Amino acid sequence: MANKNPLEITDKDEMRNWSRSMRAQGKTIGLVPTMGYLHEGHLSLIQESHKQTHLTVVSIYVNPGQFSPTEDLSAYPSDFLGDIQKLKSVPGGVDVIFRPRNLYDYGNKDDGVGGGVGWDQEGGKVVSCVEKSGMEHETWVRVERLEKGLCGISRPVFFRGVATIVTKLFNIVEPDVAVFGKKDYQQWRIIQRMVRDLDFGIKVIGSELVRDDDGLAKSSRNVRLSPDDRQKALSISKSLFKAKFAAENGQIDCQELRNAVIQAVHEAGGKIDYAEIVDQESLEKLEEIKRPAVFCVAAWFGNVRLIDNIEINV
Amino acid sequence: MANKNPLEITDKDEMRNWSRSMRAQGKTIGLVPTMGYLHEGHLSLIQESHKQTHLTVVSIYVNPGQFSPTEDLSAYPSDFLGDIQKLKSVPGGVDVIFRPRNLYDYGNKDDGVGGGVGWDQEGGKVVSCVEKSGMEHETWVRVERLEKGLCGISRPVFFRGVATIVTKLFNIVEPDVAVFGKKDYQQWRIIQRMVRDLDFGIKVIGSELVRDDDGLAKSSRNVRLSPDDRQKALSISKSLFKAKFAAENGQIDCQELRNAVIQAVHEAGGKIDYAEIVDQESLEKLEEIKRPAVFCVAAWFGNVRLIDNIEINV
């Protein structure tokens, strides 16, 4: 199939109208939500969408609602022109690039420049998820059990922001299928649960994690690693591979498996946020691996927080 | 127009499929969510829907997610056969009666009989909104500012439950328009805000409150009033009418207006939950009526909690 020139849409009504007109023609629509700075991991999500639906929408939106004031929203990398090139070159192409400007601006008279969630009214720049007064955004979707562990401990507003923006994107794009990366394992499970609990008529697909040749999990944040830290960060994937091998050969004690990973990352100079072995669906902590598990790690190298995980099916 | 025999649907996939097939034929769909035990107030919502759309779906579902363990869920009146008769006799009829059995049952193996939100596993009966462990419902939609005042003070889980079930119904029925009664003024404003904040492609209509000839606001709960309490309960609407008249004739001090209503209800033998004059949109308390306001009252007569309100546009 020749590559298509994707339609670029910024207006949410125009986006919904496009979807409805395509549906009226019997076409099915896949949505791949991204925050841009695309890499091969994202492109694999698009290819997954191609398998499922006639048409694919890729959204590019750095969501202020999922960053706390102390987090790296302003440092989040961005390269829209590069993203467009990548989306044109992905096999099969994409049909729509949905790039809204501000999904929390409802045009209220009493708002400042940006309106909505945590806009810095001085510079018109997104800074955090803090709520303000008046007529601004105040509706949040929470997946109350799954949001609490793993990344939810150090990032308490993160999954509230993710569930809310995904709900908004679902309601704007109205897709048949949405594809999420298993790199963000907890996020994927949270979206699955949300879709079940809120009865969205949408199928959620989890797409396999993609790694660089040396094993580092692909992430938009990797670009912020120094060459030295990038080398050190390999300790995460290397120790996870070892843990999986050990577990599949009978070493099912989670404390011992966790200690080995924590030690490897620590010795490489990383700072562990968490290293947990949990049930693949409920994300409850396990003491022994006797059912399908996933080993999830978050660690800092320099000022970059990386996450990685590996499924273990003994 | 001759009255139609409404289609009765209990399965959520069947409901969504019906909506999608109608939409594919170019029909627009109105949703009137109810908890059954229908009265003229509900029928006026249906007539409002007829004005807006080709087709009308009435849902009948007593939502356990919006009752706390101490509230009157088990006492909530029910008369499905009577409801059917009323829906057949309403001018223009309705197209679908959507009557799901349990919208919180996801068929999990580790659930009890009812599954989901607060099912009493002994009797298989809905009793409250309390969350349980495991794979059960855990996703909640909160409209964090608007849910806090008025009814939110004495019913802290109520609007969380309302926003969540309405989201579920929206995702199952996929309507173009949804009609809510202004009798439940705070609920109507919360749903409007939720639809804005979550970008639902749905138009929310607020339909005027309907009263009995003597002024009592129509409510499914009125049937539980003793004849004596029903007489006494007229103190609410009578004092609200007086307040509106006074405000429109220059008496704009909210404290004085509130005191008069509180005293009238108290003298009639009622117990005030709240009597507040608030901004019509933000629901923020007012000291003087200088912009569009609504006077909202909740009061107990016997073991029945009634709400009423009146808009004041000076």
A174 touches B: beta carbon within 8 Å:
yes
Q: What are phi and psi of B284, to 5 degrees?
A: -80, 145
User: What average pLDDT does range B293-313 have in this prediction?
Assistant: 97
**A to B CB pairs, distance under 8 Å:** 91
Roughly what angle, to the nearest 10 degrees, separates helices B12-24 and B158-173? 50
pLDDT above 70 for A121: no
A144 touches B: beta carbon within 8 Å:
yes
pLDDT of residue B300: 98
B25 touches A: beta carbon within 8 Å:
no
Q: Which residues contact B104 (CB under 8 A, 6 or more apart)?
A: B64, B65, B115, B116, B117, B119, B136, B137
pLDDT of residue B71: 83
- Rounded Cα–Cα distance for residues A253 and A288 (Å): 5
pLDDT above 80 for A4: no
If one compares A104 and B110, the residue with the highest pLDDT of the two is: A104
* Domains within chain B, CATH numbers bracketed: 7-207 (3.40.50.620), 225-304 (3.30.1300.10)
Question: Which of B108, B110, B139, B192 has the highest number of chain A CBs within 10 A, making it the mutation to test binding with A?
Answer: B139
Tell me the pLDDT band of A109, cut-offs 50, 70 and 90: low
Tell me the pLDDT tens digit for each residue of B169-205: 999 999 999 999 999 999 999 999 999 999 999 999 9
Average confidence score pLDDT of chain A:
91
A198 → chain B, closest CA residue: B168
pLDDT of residue A74: 85
Contacts of A132 in chain B (CB under 8 A): none
- Give B300 to chain A, closest Cα distance, Å: 30
User: What average pLDDT does range A95-110 have in this prediction?
Assistant: 87
B137 → chain A, closest CA residue: A197
Tell me the pLDDT band of A68, cut-offs 50, 70 and 90: confident
pLDDT above 80 for B120: no
pLDDT above 90 for A248: yes
pLDDT of residue A249: 96
- Rounded Cα–Cα distance for residues A70 and B282 (Å): 30
pLDDT of residue A107: 82
Contacts of B142 in chain A (CB under 8 A): 139-140, 142
pLDDT above 80 for B42: yes
Contacts of B171 in chain A (CB under 8 A): 198-201
User: What average pLDDT does range A47-72 have in this prediction?
Assistant: 94
Query: What H or E segment, with its residue span, contains residue B58?
Result: strand B55-60
- Rounded Cα–Cα distance for residues B202 and B133 (Å): 33
Burial class (CB in 10 A: 0-12, 13-18, 19+), B26: exposed
Least confident of A126-130, A257-261, A287-291: A126-130
A189 touches B: beta carbon within 8 Å:
no
User: What average pLDDT does range B73-79 have in this prediction?
Assistant: 89
A140 touches B: beta carbon within 8 Å:
yes
- Rounded Cα–Cα distance for residues A240 and A165 (Å): 31
User: What average pLDDT does range A37-45 have in this prediction?
Assistant: 96
Least confident of A34-38, A118-122, A148-152, B280-284: A118-122
A203 touches B: beta carbon within 8 Å:
no
User: What average pLDDT does range B53-68 have in this prediction?
Assistant: 95
A195 in helix, strand or coil?
helix
Say what percent of chain B tops pLDDT 90.
85
- Give B129 to chain A, closest Cα distance, Å: 14
A144 → chain B, closest CA residue: B138
User: What average pLDDT does range B31-46 have in this prediction?
Assistant: 97
B196 → chain A, closest CA residue: A106
pLDDT above 90 for B68: no
A190 → chain B, closest CA residue: B139
Question: Which of A22, A174, A198 has the highest number of chain B CBs within 10 A, making it the mutation to test binding with B?
Answer: A198
Catalogue the active-site residues of B. 42
pLDDT above 60 for A112: no
pLDDT of residue B134: 58
B163 → chain A, closest CA residue: A139
Question: What phi-psi label fits residue A150: left (phi over 0), alpha (psi between -120 and 50 degrees) or beta?
Answer: left
Burial B222-260 (b: 16+ CB within 10 A, else e): bebbeeebbebbbbbbbbbeebbebbeeebbebeebbeb
Contacts of A291 in chain B (CB under 8 A): none
Tell me the pLDDT tens digit for each residue of A190-217: 999 999 999 999 999 999 999 999 999 9
User: What average pLDDT does range A251-264 have in this prediction?
Assistant: 98
pLDDT of residue B122: 35
Q: Residue B81 carries which side chain, given as an amino acid letter?
A: L
Average confidence score pLDDT of chain B:
91
Q: What are phi and psi of A145, to 5 degrees?
A: -85, -55
Contacts of A145 in chain B (CB under 8 A): 131, 138
B11 touches A: beta carbon within 8 Å:
no
- Residue by residue, DSSP assigns A5-39 as -PEEE--HHHHHHHHHHHHHTT--EEEEEE-SS--
- Give B68 to chain A, closest Cα distance, Å: 18
A9 touches B: beta carbon within 8 Å:
no
Q: How far apart are the first and last CA of chain A?
A: 40
- Give B13 to chain A, closest Cα distance, Å: 9
A135 touches B: beta carbon within 8 Å:
yes
User: What average pLDDT does range B210-228 have in this prediction?
Assistant: 96
pLDDT above 50 for A96: yes
Least confident of A70-84, B44-58, B112-126, B289-303: B112-126
Asked if this assembly's ipTM is beyond 0.90, the reply is: yes
Tell me the pLDDT tens digit for each residue of B233-255: 999 999 999 999 999 999 999 99
Contacts of A103 in chain B (CB under 8 A): 199
Helical residues (DSSP H) of B174-222, grouped into ranges: 185-197
Residue whose token pair is 């009890």: B112
Q: Which of B11, B111, B96, B105 is nearest to B64 (CA)?
A: B105
Residue B135 is nearest to which of A139, A174, A282, comparing CB atoms? A282
A108 touches B: beta carbon within 8 Å:
no
- Give A53 to chain B, closest Cα distance, Å: 17
